[in-house]
A and B are shown apart, each in its own frame.
Chain A
């Protein structure tokens, strides 16, 4: 390693030699950088999972445009809107189809007494506008009262339950004083707000949630005619629908808006963002501590090098060398531990924590930048090394 660095730098790798000369301090510094990396990776993982899990139910919608109540911020907080808007939308040029979608939350009480929260979609079984329902063998049974399909990615469900249901075993549970028959499964995936999804017919939905009116779905899913840009249809819909109760947006806009709201306006999203800042600060401070105490411990030696004729750029090079080594050697273990934790947390929580190359690269770059920045700050202490004081 020393020889490699020597060839790379074209000089004695003084920074490296100084770092490895004190193994406990070096190890502590690396552990600190690794820890900061793990912290940031986990925050980014959760933030990514939040963003991804917000998108999951929308991606299940077969829609180019989603019309929601104009005060809607997230999937779950949409107020119902008049079904009249659906007919108005159908009259707009470029609209190929429009279907209502009902939404509510339901508690799924399990045999052991624990409760899972399910997001319930009520669909028109004749025109099921959710992609996981396409070609689903159990789709027809939705037409029967109190029958439902359940999300087989629902978090913390009894082990083996979904396989048994798919194998044809009947499963029922009680909710809202009714017995719900699970006729089959679909795959969507839970998020932070709900553990999973349940799909019922609009008739069953209205029986379950009796305070909900038949003529007031939460969403109207619009398909545009082939070749017509959804953006143009959105504009046409905006001019037709009353702005104070209905807001049409492309599906992509709808997803982006929900993600933006939950990551910036909701505590959960802000906590993750805050965690990233804390992680970066922890890493930066640890590296600064190590580098500045290194300078302080060697102040006479640095002064001697000044007398030898080394200029500031040389000292900067030494500190940056140390910073880069700490960044690189701290990042790798941090990444490995984070990968392990991602797998573990995904398995435990069914949240979509996945490491992306872009994220690893971004954090690697960020770690390097943070370390070098700390190094720059630490070199200010070098000003105290006065070669005239050496005699």
Chain B
């Protein structure tokens, strides 16, 4: 299959996945096919246990691919060595449900962890990049605060900044707005959309938040480990 990284930063084909061993072995994904268009926001919906998170972890190189293929920025993830998988994660910004900030680091230092992984040159401009992004997310007065002194929504915004500070071409988010209040949640999604237009950032997000569904370029629905419906909102 010819995959152009330019049009389709993420191309999933025939993806299947199993959990457990022996008797307990259970198939979680069945022949999942999905192409994300560069610069768009795609929302993944579906009932609990339908396999949304599993798809995200496979695209994000957090799990080894068992069957099928995932092209991330034009390069195959299947059969990649474990070290290779770790390196490929640097192309992705992850936004988790829990913020998982280091309690010993300030907001700015937490964000810098997201950029220092890219090497010395990135590290050198890490402080400035972190402050700039935090400022953008409405945390200008909180850059030197420890997580203990931030509200839940503020912590989540710091985690968003950590995911985006390295300018990842692909962003994967699993229910990121659960901990955000209405305004902040919309603000984050608007930022992601703007990054899509300005930089071509491609976002895949799991959410049931109706406000975000309204902003999505495309909605993909999963059930029982399969993609069952697709719709684009235009």
Query: Which A positions have Cβ atoms within 8 angstroms of B?
Result: 10-12, 14, 17-18, 20-22, 298, 300-301, 303-311, 314, 387-388, 390-391
Closest residue of chain A to B101 (Cβ to Cβ) is: A301
Q: Give how many A-B residue pairs fall within 8 Å (CB-CB).
A: 77
In the complex, what residues of A have CB within 8 A of residue B57's CB?
Answer: 388, 391
Q: Is the CB of B112 within 8 A of A388?
A: no
Known contacts A309-B117, A388-B57, A391-B53: A12-B96 contact under CB 8 Å: no
Determine which of B90, B104, B120, B174 lies in contact with A21 in the assembled complex, contact meaning CB atoms within 8 Å: B104
Contact A308 B104 (CB under 8 A): no
Q: Which residues of A contact B63 (CB under 8 A)?
A: 388
Check A311–B87 contact: CB distance below 8 A.
yes
Smallest CB gap from B105: residue in A: A17
Sampled A-B contacts (17; CB under 8 Å)? A11-B116, A12-B116, A14-B104, A14-B113, A17-B104, A20-B104, A301-B100, A301-B101, A305-B113, A307-B89, A308-B89, A308-B113, A309-B90, A388-B63, A390-B94, A390-B100, A391-B57
Contact indicator B86/A14 (Cβ below 8 Å): no
Establish whether residues B113 and A300, one from each chain, have CB atoms under 8 Å apart when the complex forms: no
With CB as the reference atom, state the residue of chain B lying closest to A308.
Answer: B117
In the complex, chain A residues whose CB is within 8 Å of the CB of B114? 308
Assess whether B62 is in contact with A388, with CB atoms less than 8 Å apart.
Answer: yes
Is B167 positioned at the interface, with any CB of A under 8 Å from its CB? no
Contact A14 B105 (CB under 8 A): yes
Cβ-defined partner of B109 (8 Å) among A17, A298, A303: A17
Majority secondary structure of chain B interface residues (helix, strand, loop or mixed)? helix
7 nearest A-B pairs in the assembled complex, by CB-CB distance? A21-B104, A309-B90, A309-B89, A304-B100, A388-B62, A391-B174, A391-B53
Interchain CB contact under 8 A, B90 and A303: no
Instruction: Name B57's closest neighbour in chain A (CB-CB).
Output: A388
- B75-88 vs A, Cβ < 8 Å mask (1 yes, 0 no): 00000000100111
Does B109 lie within 8 Å of A308, measured CB to CB?
Answer: no
> Do A300 and B100 form a contact, CB below 8 Å, given A11-B123, A12-B109, A12-B112?
yes
Considering residues A22, A307, A388, which has the most beta carbons from chain B within 10 angstroms of its beta carbon? Answer: A307
| A310-B98 contact in complex given A14-B105, A388-B57, C-beta closer than 8 Å | no
Most buried by B among A18, A308, A311: A308
B96 neighbours in A (Cβ, 8 Å):
304, 307, 390-391
Give A388 to B64 CA distance when docked, in angstroms: 10
Interface size for chain B: under 10, 10 to 19, 20 to 34, or 35 or more residues? 20 to 34
Nearest residue (CB) in B for A307 is B94
Given contacts A11-B116, A390-B96, A309 and B102 within 8 Å (CB-CB) = no
In the complex, residue of chain B having the shortest beta-carbon distance to the beta carbon of A20 = B104
A21→B103 contact, CB < 8 A: yes
A387 and B62 form a contact (CB under 8 A): yes
Q: With contacts A306-B86, A387-B62, A390-B62 known, what are 14 further pairs, Cβ within 8 A?
A: A12-B105, A12-B126, A17-B105, A17-B109, A18-B102, A18-B104, A21-B104, A22-B104, A301-B100, A306-B89, A307-B62, A308-B90, A309-B89, A314-B117
Contact A301 B102 (CB under 8 A): yes
Q: How far is the CA of A255 from the CA of B218 in the complex (A)?
A: 89
**Nearest B residue to A386, CB-CB:** B62
| CB of B204 within 8 Å of the partner chain | no
CB-CB < 8 A to B90: which residues of A?
A: 308-309
State A391–B113 Cα separation when bound (angstroms): 19
CA gap between A22 and B57 in the complex, in Å: 33
Q: Is B190 an interface residue (CB 8 A)?
A: no
Contact B102 A311 (CB under 8 A): no
Query: Closest chain A residue to B104 by CB distance?
Result: A21
Question: A14 — which chain B residues lie within 8 A by C-beta?
Answer: 102, 104-105, 113
Report if B60 contacts A (CB, 8 A).
yes
B97 at the interface (CB under 8 A from A): yes
Tell me how far the C-beta of A91 lies from the nearest C-beta in chain B, rounded to whole angstroms.
Answer: 78
Q: How far is the CA of A10 from the CA of B120 in the complex (A)?
A: 7
Tell me the bound Cα distance from A306 to B172 in angstroms: 15
Q: Is B56 engaged at the interface, CB distance under 8 Å to the other chain?
A: yes
B86 to A309, Cβ gap below 8 A? yes
Q: How far is the CB of B8 from chain A (nearest CB, A)?
A: 22
Q: Which residues of A contact B89 (CB under 8 A)?
A: 306-309, 387
